[in-house]
Structure 1
Amino acid sequence: MTASTPGHACLVLGVGLRAHATAATLRGLWQQAKALLPAPADGFCSLAVLEGKEQHPALAGWRVPVLALPLESLRHQPVATQSARLIARYGTGSVAEAAALAAAGPQAQLLLPRRVAQDGSATLAVARRRVAPLDCCIAAACRAAALSQGATAP
């Protein structure tokens, strides 16, 4: 997969993964997402997952930072999808949407609600950061690092 280039829209992918998810499944979800985004998107800044999933084999081959977010940072995100099962288990209606929004930072915009893989093994959502282009990718990586070390979201 490719990272974004200077002048990009600073997109962050949020991903939810089950044990049997594959890299091909995630690539397929990204291809679907690209076709549905309001503006053409060739790449993205980072990929955000629930802490503990950052070493999942399906993430191999993505050439962007994989940001591992603690569950607490996902619980209060304003997600569009409301899955009763996920609310009961994680405290959010969509892990993918919440991860994308949390990693994208304050005032992030959910561009694409979660897409679900045909086999149900993975979900993917897209958010856009609302910051100056120069600090976009660096800020996202630093913010996620702070969150993964127990800091609270600003």
Structure 2
Amino acid sequence: MKVAGFGFRKDAPYESFRAALQQVEGVGGPVTLLATVAAKAMAPALQRLATERGMIVLGVAVAGIDTPTRSARVQALYGTGSVAEAAALAAAGANSTLIVGRMDAPDGTVTCAMALGKGAIE
């Protein structure tokens, strides 16, 4: 299972989610699941993307997940260096691998990463 993990600002528009996902899928291929930090899983723009793609958004815990990208601000807020990378890894399940590192939407409001694994919901 390939999972796209998202980190984003509260006011991020739908177009930014779509653009970030297109960038990541352009490198890693199509995903089967979208994920983000549990507190943001119901964000309307992300839910719209999931609905249009026939997918769900899995809300996951990201604190303590080691990521290649390290943001001091994100670490202080969420306990991980990158919400996008950590969400992808968490949703992809144990022994998952990050296959596309964090990429930013053109406006900088959304980040997306991709992990490969068996999946936390399988």
Q: TM > 0.5 between the two? A: yes
Q: How many residues align?
A: 118
1:50 corresponds, among 34, 37, 43, to 37
2:120 corresponds, among 140, 143, 147, to 140
Greater strand percent: which structure? 2
- Structure 1 gaps, min length 5: 1-9, 132-138, 143-154
| Equivalent residue runs for 1:3-152 within 5 Å | 10-37=1-28, 41=29, 43-59=30-46, 60-62=48-50, 63-70=54-61, 74-129=62-117, 131=118, 140-141=120-121
> Are the equivalent residues in 1 in contact too, given 2:96–2:116 (CA < 8 A)?
yes
- Which segment is superposed worse, 110-119 or 90-99? 110-119
> Are the equivalent residues in 2 in contact too, given 1:113–1:125 (CA < 8 A)?
yes
Q: CA deviation at 1:77?
A: 1.7
Determine the structure 2 residue equivalent to 1:150: none
Percent identity between matched residues is 39
Q: Which has the higher contact order (CA 8 A, sep 6+)?
A: 2
Deviations 1:77-107 (Å, cap 9, x if unpaired)? 2211011111111111000000000111111
Q: CA deviation at 1:58?
A: 1.3
TM-score (norm. length: structure 2): 0.87
Q: CA deviation at 1:20?
A: 1.6
> Are the equivalent residues in 1 in contact too, given 2:25–2:31 (CA < 8 A)?
no
CA-based RMSD of the aligned residues comes to 1.5
Partner amino acid, structure 2, of 1:48? A
Structure 1 runs of 4+ with >3 Å offset: none
Partner amino acid, structure 2, of 1:141? I
Determine the structure 2 residue equivalent to 1:135: none
Deviations 1:12-40 (Å, cap 9, x if unpaired)? 01001211212211111111112223xxx
